[in-house]
Structures are given as C-alpha cells and as structure tokens.
Amino acid sequence: MSEYYYELTIKPQNNYEQFLELLTLLTNNAIEESNGLLIARSEENLSDIEFGVNEFAKKLGIECETTCEKKDNQDWIKNYQQSVKAVEVGKFYIRPSWEEKKEGSIDIIIDPALSFGSGHHETTSSCILAIEQFVKQDSTVLDVGCGSGILSIAAAKLNTKVDICDTDEVCINDTKENFKLNNVNFNNSWIGSANNAKEQYDVVIANIVADVLVMIHKDLKKCLKDNGILIVSGILDKHLDRVLRKFEDLNKLEVIHKNEWVTIVFSK
C-alpha cells in the first residue's frame, strides 16, 4: 500500500447526475456519494480528472466546487469496504464476506474493491432483477463490461455458461477472484468489448453508460442469438429515448425504472 492517496471532491450546483456519469467514465475507482458531493479516491494523482471536471463545468456554464488533496494513506479502501452492508435483490442476497449468508436466498459474496458493482446501485440491482426473470438454466451468457462480476456471478448461480469481458484488466482480475470466492466458474474471458466475441449468446448483459451503449449497439446485437435476450443498463432516464432508438429493431420486453436510472430488456 502506498504511503499517500489522492482525494478528489466535486460539488456541482446542479446537473449532479451528469457529473456522476462523467466521473464514472473518467475513473475506475470507487466513488462515494454524500449529500450532493462526489468523492473519488486513488493512489494515482487525480488532478487531471479534476481539470477535466472543471472544463466540463465551464462548457455547461455550471458552478462546480472541486478540491484535490494528497493525504496520508490510512487504508481508505478497508474503511470503505467496512461501510458496505448486505443487500437483498429479488431471490439474491449480496453480501461482503464478513456478513453471514441468508438462508433461502441465492448467496453472492462481493467484497467491494476498485471495480464497479456491489448490488447497491440502482443499475446493478435492476439488472439482477432482470437476470432473475429472463435468464434460463443452461443459457449462454455474455457480461459486457463485467466490473466486479456481480451480474455474471448472478447468472452463473442460475446454472448458465458465462463469458466475461471488460476494457479494464483490473475488472477482469476482480471478476475472476469473485468467481472463485463464490465457487462458480466462467467459461471464457477477454480484455475488450462485445466486438471481440467469437460466438453468439442466448443472453447479453451490458451495464455501462448510455454513451457507450449507443456506441457499441451494433456489436451487442451482433453477438446475440435469434430470440436471445439483451439486458442494457447504466442509462439515465434523460438518455432513454436516445438509447431506445439504437435498439428499435429489437422487441422491447421491459423497462425498469429505479430513481433516475433505467434498465431495458430486449429480445432479438
């Protein structure tokens, strides 16, 4: 562990969701939300990200307070982990390893790390509900942008054959460790996105952000079997129509709203 870490705080006067979405795109580190304040921490210097956020605010004409401080490292990752509690989503019970499992539920262990996905965010929980409803036993599943692996682990717990991919090697490594922690297996993995898929799947899951979904929409459809299920998420409701237009050639099965976030289920 490094002797120091960097803490970036962002307080926009409005358009909070846009700044959250931007920060999610700019850093793979855990992001803390607290009463209109966004906090990112990393052992890498975050001053370049602070500059990008301020330029973004200027373009929007929005007042935004930021600070970037170098602090003594007191194991903030461990402190963050200990603040995370178990969450129940449908028939799944998602918990850190230091909490007990819940009898009668499908157990998923996720120890929060730097990759995204612990079950608490609206997009993650909505995707898990969609997986519970639409993913069938023995299906082939591709998790695009796997993050912590929570969605592919949920699918694997339903006795499916799972492949995982992410453009970030850290996420691939975290996902592999989380599969071991949960005593389930994945079939194949690669660093990259859906365009690198070698086959078609019964189910494709992509919990990313609206801009990326729009950019890779053809690749997502190309690796989906006929009559296959596509679950897309990470969409702020103000971007919903733009995403829907890119997938209008598919059948829309369900739209799940949780606060300002949207998950959509399609069939091909």
Q: What are the pLDDT digits (tens) for 137-163?
A: 999 999 999 988 999 999 999 999 999
Can 4-79 and 119-267 be said to share one CATH topology? no
Q: Which residue did the predictor score with more confidence, 78 or 207?
A: 207
pLDDT of 235 higher than 80: yes
Return d(Cα 123, Cα 253) in angstroms, integer: 17
Please name the fold of domain 4-79. Answer: Alpha-Beta Plaits (3.30.70)
Is the pTM higher than 0.75? The answer reads no
DSSP secondary structure code for residue 197 in this structure: -
User: How confident is the model at residue 74, as a pLDDT?
Assistant: 66
Beta strand ranges found along 43-144 (DSSP E): 64-72, 87-89, 92-95, 106-109, 140-144
Please name the fold of domain 119-267. Answer: Rossmann fold (3.40.50)
Under the banding of pLDDT at 50, 70 and 90, the label for residue 83 is low
Please state the domain extents for the chain: 4-79, 119-267
Question: Which 3 state secondary structure label does DSSP give 191?
Answer: strand
pLDDT tens across 157-213, in order?
999 999 999 998 988 998 999 999 999 999 999 999 999 999 999 999 999 989 999
For 122-153, give the secondary structure using H, E and C: HHHHHHHHHHHHHCCCCCEEEEECCCCCHHHH
Return d(Cα 88, Cα 86) in angstroms, integer: 7
